[in-house]
Chain A
């Protein structure tokens, strides 16, 4: 299932924060992890990731450092800052509330539809 680009973009920030909070990651690795964990559903592209990384770095939520990976290649690793962790916490609780509200909303809508269907039966 493909998602709308705007929807993907709107959740990019908490996703990146969550991933670099787990461990330091470089850009390509983040894309791979996201795509793997979503079974390719998100199918992130570089045009989604790098602007997001630059924005977060500009806001001081993440910081970067060039390091040599196990492969021997230089990679720019991103890791979360203290400010980033605080933002992540906010985002996660916001997302949780949003998700609950949405579920509740959709449950009511779905339940109401069933009732209507039975009543008009």
Chain B
């Protein structure tokens, strides 16, 4: 390989001499060019001294001595150096760039899976991401997710129940899933309901499900107003089924959707994984799971209220009174035996509303036992007091606050609690959770930045190859190839220190210090500000890294003394070729600094986040416990205002 550094108008003997002297260095083009330049400078000095000679070039070359006496020792002295530099270049090309790519992909997967989990926690498919956890047995995966080959969720949960036919938990899961999809009007669903009644005869849940399915067929034009619920009966048979199933439900001793048990089983599996990310998923799941039971039971109660009214309006007072009494009995039972999960209290709340609707019917002169009448009256009082209390405080500031500042979980939970009384102090529990959101978003920002670096690196490589190809295919041809300049320790320290570490340190100082950023963290309302901040950070880092890389390549390029006519395309190709590994090093450094830092932050915030702390006495999480406590106190206060 020739290294073309011949100056314009230069005696060809000089280039030939230099090429011969440095023949042994041809595996290291940069070293060869540098050495040629130095020898040329030396030669020029000799020529200047022998300017009076007839042939100053020839005299200078002769004075330099035999080529072999320079070339041999030069090669010998540089063998180890060239090997070491070749190893570094190989490592840069074969290790650094692939490593940066792999790290970026891994971080992308990590951030995406976490985000996916958070999103999954707020909708109906919370468990899919857990299945990829290492260390889960096939049976555990099956319990968490069901048969992955079955795409339909209802069919999947049905397969799980069929695998454990005597387990009411999986049966309830199947029936609830099927009821919430279009799979309810099938023979399999009916089979499941029949099996459920046999397996778990005292549980009102299955009758509620059946009533819910019937209600969808039976009623239309449902309207809510201050006088209650109005609806049209469009299918009398379905309405009768609804009535029968509702009555059976009301006469059952208990109502259990097993969602809490299902959640506990899943958490028992997931709890084995000690990492904070799993902890986050577990706790988030636990916090959200309490809200899910309402999807089935509350609409049923509302329909039941409307249906009692319809029965009464259509002269079926006996049935209306019977149903009303059954509901008030259930209400009384629930009030006396309330558990501590949120679903129970919301159920009680609905029951109180139901009994207040039933009261005019139940007290229409038909025989009602004195204890039942007393309970009905208490329930009515409770319901009216609660509503009066809520009506007097139509705007609860904390609710809007929790929606805007509470983050993902807060916003979801606030919807649940729109008619509840809150302990204002709970707002302080939300701060770590909001930070947690930012940490999650920052993970994404990191991944986007790393992806950007990878894309720019790839573009640099493509561009370098393109310029190289054009140089090679030019009519006169260019024998010198673009160089891969590996920065020295000081140069890479400058690029990484000034281009990466310093901007990151300033960003974290700014973003974490409220005094400087003036930030009240809220991903919902401040997402644009967040994005703007991240873009400024990326541009700062990319700009600084780009500028320092350009400076490094230009300095090194100048040291090589390559002639001006070569400079344009050769410089650009060398810059592209040398920038790719530098960008990869920047990506790795960035990942190695930011990822552990965000991990540590996430871990600390989870520990501090009281919203995420499990309260063993009341419900799944402290957040839920606060809600339960608030409802309990409010209801008790409304029931017995003097106490």
The 3 closest A-B pairs by CB, nearest first: A47-B69, A51-B73, A51-B77
Contact A74 B41 (CB under 8 A): yes
The prevalent SS among residues of B at the interface is helix
Q: Does A66 touch B at the CB level, under 8 Å?
A: yes
- In whole angstroms, how far apart are the Cα atoms of A33 and B37 in the complex? 21
Contact B65 A50 (CB under 8 A): no
- In whole angstroms, how far apart are the Cα atoms of A51 and B69 in the complex? 10
Known interface pairs A54-B81, A66-B558, A66-B559; A47-B42 also in contact (CB < 8 Å) = no
- In the complex formed, the residue of A with least CB distance to B64 is A46
Partner of A74 from B64, B77, B561 at Cβ < 8 Å: B561
Q: Which residues of A contact B77 (CB under 8 A)?
A: 51-52, 54-55, 58
Known interface pairs A54-B81, A58-B78; A47-B41 also in contact (CB < 8 Å) = no
Contact A46 B41 (CB under 8 A): no
Q: Does A2 touch B at the CB level, under 8 Å?
A: no
Measured CB to CB, the residues of A under 8 A from B are 26-28, 45-48, 50-52, 54-55, 58, 66, 73-76
Given A46-B65, A50-B70, A51-B73, 7 other A-B contacts at CB below 8 A? A27-B38, A27-B41, A27-B42, A28-B41, A47-B65, A47-B70, A66-B558
- In whole angstroms, how far apart are the Cα atoms of A66 and B70 in the complex? 21
Q: Which residues of A contact B69 (CB under 8 A)?
A: 45, 47
Known interface pairs A28-B46, A66-B558; A50-B80 also in contact (CB < 8 Å) = no
Q: Which residues of A contact B38 (CB under 8 A)?
A: 27, 50, 76
Q: Pull 7 A–B residue pairs with CB atoms less than 8 Å apart, ordered by A.
A: A28-B42, A45-B65, A46-B42, A47-B69, A51-B73, A66-B561, A73-B41
- In whole angstroms, how far apart are the Cα atoms of A51 and B66 in the complex? 14
- In whole angstroms, how far apart are the Cα atoms of A46 and B77 in the complex? 14
Q: Does B429 touch A at the CB level, under 8 Å?
A: no
- In whole angstroms, how far apart are the Cα atoms of A14 and B78 in the complex? 19
Q: Which residues of B contact A26 (CB under 8 A)?
A: 41-42
| Distance to closest chain B CB from A16 (angstroms) | 13
Q: Does B74 touch A at the CB level, under 8 Å?
A: yes
The prevalent SS among residues of A at the interface is helix
Known interface pairs A66-B558, A76-B38; A54-B70 also in contact (CB < 8 Å) = no
Q: Does B39 touch A at the CB level, under 8 Å?
A: yes
Contact A46 B81 (CB under 8 A): no
Known interface pairs A66-B559, A66-B561, A74-B41; A47-B46 also in contact (CB < 8 Å) = no
Contact A76 B73 (CB under 8 A): no
- In whole angstroms, how far apart are the Cα atoms of A119 and B91 in the complex? 74
Partner of A75 from B41, B81, B558 at Cβ < 8 Å: B41
| Distance to closest chain B CB from A96 (angstroms) | 27
| Distance to closest chain A CB from B15 (angstroms) | 17
| Distance to closest chain B CB from A20 (angstroms) | 15
Q: Does B45 touch A at the CB level, under 8 Å?
A: yes
- In whole angstroms, how far apart are the Cα atoms of A52 and B73 in the complex? 9
Partner of B35 from A45, A47, A50, A74 at Cβ < 8 Å: A50
Residues of B within 8 A of A (CB-CB), count: 26
| Distance to closest chain A CB from B553 (angstroms) | 15
Contact B74 A50 (CB under 8 A): yes
Within 61-75 of B, Cβ neighbours of A (below 8 Å) are at 64-66, 69-70, 72-74
| Distance to closest chain B CB from A66 (angstroms) | 5
Q: Which residues of B contact A48 (CB under 8 A)?
A: 73
Q: Which residues of A contact B39 (CB under 8 A)?
A: 46, 50
Q: Does B44 touch A at the CB level, under 8 Å?
A: yes
Contact B42 A51 (CB under 8 A): no
- In whole angstroms, how far apart are the Cα atoms of A41 and B561 in the complex? 34
| Distance to closest chain A CB from B416 (angstroms) | 69
Known interface pairs A28-B46, A51-B74, A76-B38; A58-B81 also in contact (CB < 8 Å) = yes
Q: Does B76 touch A at the CB level, under 8 Å?
A: yes
Q: Which residues of A contact B559 (CB under 8 A)?
A: 66
Q: Which residues of B contact A46 (CB under 8 A)?
A: 39, 42, 64-65, 70
Partner of A73 from B44, B46, B72, B81 at Cβ < 8 Å: B44
Q: Which residues of A contact B44 (CB under 8 A)?
A: 73
- In the complex formed, the residue of B with least CB distance to A66 is B559
| Distance to closest chain B CB from A48 (angstroms) | 8
| Distance to closest chain B CB from A35 (angstroms) | 12
Q: Which residues of B contact A47 (CB under 8 A)?
A: 65-66, 69-70, 72-73
Q: Which residues of B contact A54 (CB under 8 A)?
A: 35, 74, 77-78, 81
Within 38-58 of B, Cβ neighbours of A (below 8 Å) are at 38-39, 41-42, 44-46
- In whole angstroms, how far apart are the Cα atoms of A76 and B40 in the complex? 11
Q: Which residues of B contact A76 (CB under 8 A)?
A: 34, 37-38, 41
B448-475 CB contact bits vs A (8 Å, 1 = yes)? 0000000000000000000000000000
- In whole angstroms, how far apart are the Cα atoms of A46 and B80 in the complex? 21
| Distance to closest chain B CB from A75 (angstroms) | 6
| Distance to closest chain A CB from B26 (angstroms) | 15
- In the complex formed, the residue of A with least CB distance to B65 is A45
B75-99 CB contact bits vs A (8 Å, 1 = yes)? 0111011000000000000000000
Contact B74 A58 (CB under 8 A): no
| Distance to closest chain A CB from B30 (angstroms) | 13
| Distance to closest chain A CB from B80 (angstroms) | 7
| Distance to closest chain A CB from B633 (angstroms) | 76
Q: Pick the most buried of A27, A54, A73: most chain B CB atoms within 10 A of its CB.
A: A54
- In whole angstroms, how far apart are the Cα atoms of A51 and B72 in the complex? 9
Known interface pairs A50-B35, A73-B41; A45-B561 also in contact (CB < 8 Å) = no
